[in-house]
């Protein structure tokens, strides 16, 4: 038997801690399947009550979206306890604890740049701009793991249309909060702070691009990007900026944080592409959080609706 040394193991091969710790529950749940059917209680609730017994404020009036996938939703406890959120910690199991007292009110979002209607809005005013929708999206991390989450929000285009970008606006830049007193990870120079991300205008206007303020029917937990973030489901997860405080429209491609940090590893577009390997691991397969086997990675994470946005582009060069 070949035993790998720690330094030989890629991060994409390591079983997530939450998956390992929940293995017994997973196996026990299989044995309870018959009981679930007999009693009418959902198997997911038997295995993981925390997936349905949530802690946040319920969001009323949520509409179901036809854009949702029909895949099995990842348990709430996994999504909220395995997070890439370097502002709090580089360890995935720490943000849930470190973000507990993070203050999300009062919260303002400044919108400016190449727009006719520059403004600074209270986050709750933004949330009320359109009826909330539940969109069950696949979400793929560049490290090789994935989740399926019922996000709550509405199309980012709803906000963009209200500020009326000028004809010169070609990109949208998102800047997240800088608060070293609340975010211990920002006290270290792991990345250049504050965190910045960006989209091309047609990407931001696509119906799949989501302005998100909730999940699982309730407010976003702090460790998942509260109070407001974006979700871009056809791109790797780091493109979906969390805790946004500034939206700026520009004629120049934004310098996004991970591209500044490691330009050979993290491109501006970062579309999910099984044919373009990360320099340190393959992107051809992924492991769904809570599962033990890998599955093939789909081009654009399976969201073929966006393929026309990149017609004629070399997606190996523009990775």
Task: For residue range 252-277, list pLDDT tens digits in order.
Answer: 999 999 999 999 999 999 999 999 99
Query: In the prediction, which pLDDT does 56 show?
Result: 79
Percent of the chain scored above 70 by pLDDT? Answer: 83
Mean pLDDT of the 166-192 span: 98
- Flag whether pLDDT at 8 surpasses 60: no
Mean pLDDT of the 161-173 span: 98
Considering the domain boundaries, does residue 209 fall inside one?
yes
Considering the domain boundaries, does residue 218 fall inside one?
yes
- Domain hosting residue 85, numbered range: 57-310
Query: In the prediction, which pLDDT does 205 show?
Result: 98
Considering the domain boundaries, does residue 315 fall inside one?
no
| Cα 134 to Cα 58, 62, 65, 154, 207, distances in angstroms | 13, 6, 6, 8, 13
Query: In the prediction, which pLDDT does 127 show?
Result: 98
Q: Global pTM?
A: 0.85
Considering the domain boundaries, does residue 13 fall inside one?
no
Considering the domain boundaries, does residue 50 fall inside one?
no
Considering the domain boundaries, does residue 48 fall inside one?
no
- Flag whether pLDDT at 99 surpasses 50: yes
CATH code (residue 258): 3.90.420.10
Considering the domain boundaries, does residue 39 fall inside one?
no
- Flag whether pLDDT at 133 surpasses 90: yes
Q: How far apart are CA 137 and CA 282, in angstroms?
A: 23
Query: In the prediction, which pLDDT does 32 show?
Result: 38
Task: For residue range 9-45, list pLDDT tens digits in order.
Answer: 444 444 455 444 444 444 444 443 343 333 333 333 3
Q: Per the structure, how many domains does the chain have?
A: 1
Asked if 117 and 163 count as a contact pair (C-beta separation under 8 A), the reply is yes
Task: For residue range 81-91, list pLDDT tens digits in order.
Answer: 999 999 999 99
Return the HEC string of the chain.
Answer: CCCCCHHHCCHHHCCCHHHHHCHHHHHHHHHCHHHHHHHCCCHHHHHCHHHCCCCCCECCCCEECCCCCCCCCCCHHHHCCCCCECCCECCCCCHHHHCCCCCCCCCEEEEEECECCCEEEEHHHHHCCCCCEEEEEEEECCCCEEEEEEEEEEECHHHHHHHCECCCCCEEEEEECCCCCCCHHHHCCCCCCCCEEEEEHHHHHCCCCEEEEEECCEECCHHHCCCCEEECCCEEHHHCCCCEEEEEEECCCCCCHHHHHCCCCCCCCCECCCCCCECCECCCEEEECCCCCEEECCHHHHCHHHHHHHCCCCCCCCC
Considering the domain boundaries, does residue 114 fall inside one?
yes
């Amino acid at each position: 038997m070949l035993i790998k040394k720690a330094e030989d193991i890629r991060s994409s091969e390591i079983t997530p801690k939450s998956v390992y710790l929940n293995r017994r529950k997973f196996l026990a749940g299989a044995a309870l399947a018959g009981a679930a059917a007999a009693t009418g209680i959902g198997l997911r609730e038997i295995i993981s009550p925390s997936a349905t017994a949530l802690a946040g404020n319920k969001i009323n009036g949520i509409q179901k979206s036809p854009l949702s996938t029909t895949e099995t939703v990842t348990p709430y406890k996994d999504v909220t306890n395995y997070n890439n959120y370097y502002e709090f910690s580089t360890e995935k199991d720490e943000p849930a604890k470190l973000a507990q007292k993070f203050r999300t009110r009062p919260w303002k979002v400044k919108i400016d740049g190449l727009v006719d209607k520059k403004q600074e809005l209270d986050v709750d005013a933004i949330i009320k701009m359109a009826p909330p929708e539940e969109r069950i999206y696949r979400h793929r991390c560049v490290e090789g793991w994935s989740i399926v989450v019922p996000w709550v929000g509405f199309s980012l285009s709803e906000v963009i249309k209200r500020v009326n970008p000028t004809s010169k606006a070609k990109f949208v830049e998102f800047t997240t909060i800088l608060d070293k007193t609340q975010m211990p990870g920002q006290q270290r120079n792991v990345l250049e702070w504050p965190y910045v991300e960006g989209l091309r205008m047609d990407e931001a206007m696509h119906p799949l691009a989501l302005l998100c303020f909730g999940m699982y029917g309730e407010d976003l937990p702090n460790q998942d990007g509260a109070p407001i973030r974006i979700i871009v489901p056809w791109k790797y997860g780091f493109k979906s900026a969390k805790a946004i405080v500034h939206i700026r429209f520009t004629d120049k491609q934004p310098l996004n944080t991970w591209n500044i940090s490691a330009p050979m590893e993290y491109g501006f577009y970062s579309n999910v592409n099984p044919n373009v390997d990360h320099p340190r691991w393959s992107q051809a397969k992924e492991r769904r959080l809570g599962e033990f086997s890998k599955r093939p990675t789909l081009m654009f994470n399976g969201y073929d609706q966006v393929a026309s946005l990149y017609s004629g582009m070399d997606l190996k060069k523009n990775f």
